[in-house]
Structure 1
Amino acid sequence: MSTLGTNSGTRGDAALRVFSTTPQSKDLGPEEYARRVADVARWSEEAGCEGILVYTDNGIVDPWLVSQLILQSTERLCPLVAVQPVYMHPYSVAKMVTSLAYLHNRRVWLNMLAGGFKNDLVALGDETPHDERYARTTEYTRIVLELLRGERPVSLDGAYYHVSNLKLTPPLPPELMPGVLVSGSSPAGLAAAEALDATPVKYPHPPGEEEPSDGREFGVRIGIVARDSEEEAWRVALERFPEDRAGQITQKLAMQVSDSHWHKQLSQRLDGDGARRSPYWLGPFQNYRTFCPYLVGDHGTVADLVAGYRAIGASTIILDIPPSREELEQIEHVLALAQARERS
């Protein structure tokens, strides 16, 4: 897999950045979870990933503590920490970033959220409308980044936050300034990413249906199952994500209470049926097993799909949680093929 690229900007020769994803604590017991996080982080580093996404919501452990475990278990891998503004003041986020840099000399990436599970927000007393949450996240992130740049004390009398002559110590080395990602499946999310000069991340349509990005880089959140043959890939995919009636009901209930643009976008799309399956597969999403589309097929077919996203501006891929090191090796092969197609 590829290594560092730029945080944002126009597409062209930018390197492909790949992030894997950390397991969730709700799926494992405490001792097993800690071991699994360390294992997945090491696999991801060995596979050449830039970093690893760390989820956040009301039902799982704190992402900053998980990031500390990731940093202790690896030498280079960068945590991509999901940041929910309702959980902590922007100063606390900046303090976490600079403290981890001080302790580990490691860069952290920030995945800035505006939503999440609607019931989580309501439970916290936050009923801010969807688009306004993106405006709040933009203001929040600007404070974080200004503190981390450390060029001067930060003062802001904003619509959502008020700070006066705020300073951050220890200072963050400039080379460890975090990259920033923002959900970009809605117009409000795209506007926030543009305002922050951040990379918008989509839960994409198939490459042939995805709109070009007007020259700006973007990221895609996908899973990949690829093997030497299409038949073997589908056997693995269906074993990992079998039909689950209870999961389908849960997904429909979640859809009813969600105001997420990407959730509705994927929910409204039905997989085709018939003798031949589409390599763009929503089965895991429809069975409430994960929240992203999967690309399934032989290595060459899936590489063509990845190359299709790259051709219209995708600079970043966030992979679903890898079940094994061997599965990451299969994905490495796909991405190598996709990048070879770019060069040909």
Structure 2
Amino acid sequence: MLEVLGTAPSPRPDDGDALKVIAELSRRAERHGVNGLLAFYNHRYLDPWAVAGAIMQSTATVSPLAALQPYALPPFTAAKLIHGMTRLYGRRVDINLITGAASEELGQLGDSLDHDQRYERATEYAKVLRALLSVDEPLHHEGRFYHYRGLRAHSWLPPEDRPRVFVAGSSPASRRAAEEVGDIAITHPEPVDQFAQTFLDGSRTVRIGIRVGLIVRDTDEQAWRVAHDRYQSDRRTRLKTAMRRKSDSDWSRRMATLSADVHDDVYWTGAYQADKGSMPLLVGSHDRVADYLDRYLALGVDTLLLGDLPTEEDFRHAGAVLADVRGRIKL
């Protein structure tokens, strides 16, 4: 079974009618059968929990995948938010557990933990959060990062309503965290053959998901015309990409190291090179992109987290590809 999630718009706080923008895309995603929408996190944009609430208010079936940054929200507060939203809207809220790749944001908060330590904190965080949502008794916890003595959050949820934990990252530390507390390990993949030798180089006990953008049209030429018009790099973005090769983030380094050239006639890092997204793009005709996605699924990927699909036309073409891929799974 292939699960498909999209990405919600996350306007800046002063960007026009943000609620209207989020509501319109959420309803469009629902019409096209998207299972959920990622509300992502950074300091510049609306809080993901505000976006998650707007998604649930605007739709009847779409579940938010809210980015959860441990330094930004104590597990007790997260448990109360998740419990409240689930009860109010009658559907699950999933979480995308992140640790922070922007050094300037970490520095602003005085977060001095190194890369692996942040994943250790995230692992403990997820354990505490799960306990608060699954046990209706006082919580006693003495860990490295969190300490609770008889905490009663009143946030118990039945098993079917508890959030799934997506663990974002591609480093060994992220993979350890996913194996320990995750339901789905989510990453930005490399070209499919390289991906098989890196991220999928060991045994797995959790599901695997990838985040990619799709630019699909009736022909390869039409798709590439849209891609190049939409994502144009310049000297500033090329310099920024070169600097990211020394990033603390494993997947930032991987994306920066891959050239902007086309790989396998489909895979392209144009959005990353233009500083307009961190995910790779799959570009081409319906058949060509469906064939490429099918190769990822053959490796065990069963969850797709799609990047921006800004227009009805983008949704329509992506929907045709996903219908093709799902049809192959049923055969």
TM-score range, shorter chain: over 0.9
Identify the residue that residue 303 of structure 2 maps to in structure 1: 316
- What aligned pairs does 1:77-156 form with structure 2 within 5 A after superposition? 77-156=62-141
- What aligned pairs does 1:250-329 form with structure 2 within 5 A after superposition? 250-256=240-246, 258-272=247-261, 278-329=265-316
Identify the residue that residue 11 of structure 1 maps to in structure 2: none
What secondary structure does 2:95 align onto? strand
2:133–2:155: 8 Å Cα contact kept in structure 1?
no
Once the 2 structures are TM-superposed, how far is the Cα of residue 295 of structure 1 from its aligned partner? 0.3
Identify the residue that residue 247 of structure 1 maps to in structure 2: 237
What secondary structure does 1:25 align onto? coil
Identify the residue that residue 4 of structure 1 maps to in structure 2: none
Once the 2 structures are TM-superposed, how far is the Cα of residue 272 of structure 1 from its aligned partner? 3.0
Question: RMSD in angstroms over aligned alpha carbons?
Answer: 1.8
What secondary structure does 2:23 align onto? helix
- What aligned pairs does 1:1-344 form with structure 2 within 5 A after superposition? 15-26=1-12, 29-211=14-196, 212=200, 214=203, 216=205, 217-256=207-246, 258-272=247-261, 278-344=265-331
Q: Which amino acid aligns with 2:37?
A: I
Once the 2 structures are TM-superposed, how far is the Cα of residue 24 of structure 1 from its aligned partner? 2.5
Q: Which amino acid aligns with 1:23?
A: P
**Distance verdict in 2 for CA 1:161–1:264, change over 3 Å:** same
Once the 2 structures are TM-superposed, how far is the Cα of residue 133 of structure 1 from its aligned partner? 0.5
Q: TM-score, normalised by structure 1?
A: 0.90
What secondary structure does 1:127 align onto? coil
Once the 2 structures are TM-superposed, how far is the Cα of residue 151 of structure 1 from its aligned partner? 4.6
Worse-superposed segment, 32-41 or 141-150: 32-41
Q: Which amino acid aligns with 1:118?
A: S
Q: How many residues align?
A: 326
What secondary structure does 1:30 align onto? coil
Q: Provide Cα deviations, 1:7-48, integer angstroms capped at 9, x if missing partner.
A: xxxxxxxx211111112323x843332211111111111111
Q: Which amino acid aligns with 1:122?
A: G
1:215–1:313: 8 Å Cα contact kept in structure 2?
no
What secondary structure does 2:66 align onto? strand
What secondary structure does 2:190 align onto? coil
2:106–2:112: 8 Å Cα contact kept in structure 1?
yes
Once the 2 structures are TM-superposed, how far is the Cα of residue 170 of structure 1 from its aligned partner? 4.7
Distance 2:47 2:26 in 1: 17
Distance 1:280 1:78 in 2: 29
1:200–1:218: 8 Å Cα contact kept in structure 2?
yes
Distance 1:117 1:295 in 2: 25
Structure 2: runs of 5 or more not aligned: none
What secondary structure does 1:53 align onto? strand
**Distance verdict in 2 for CA 1:109–1:35, change over 3 Å:** same
Larger RCO, structures 1/2 (Cα 8 Å, 6+ apart): 1
**Distance verdict in 2 for CA 1:36–1:144, change over 3 Å:** same
Distance 1:250 1:271 in 2: 13
Distance 2:120 2:329 in 1: 36
Distance 1:102 1:69 in 2: 15
Structure 1: runs of 5 or more not aligned: 1-14
Distance 1:313 1:117 in 2: 30
Q: TM-score, normalised by structure 2?
A: 0.93
2:179–2:204: 8 Å Cα contact kept in structure 1?
no
1:271–1:278: 8 Å Cα contact kept in structure 2?
no
Q: Which amino acid aligns with 2:218?
A: D
Once the 2 structures are TM-superposed, how far is the Cα of residue 254 of structure 1 from its aligned partner? 4.8
Worse-superposed segment, 212-221 or 230-239: 212-221
Once the 2 structures are TM-superposed, how far is the Cα of residue 215 of structure 1 from its aligned partner? 5.1
Distance 1:37 1:253 in 2: 33
**Distance verdict in 2 for CA 1:338–1:194, change over 3 Å:** same
Identify the residue that residue 6 of structure 1 maps to in structure 2: none
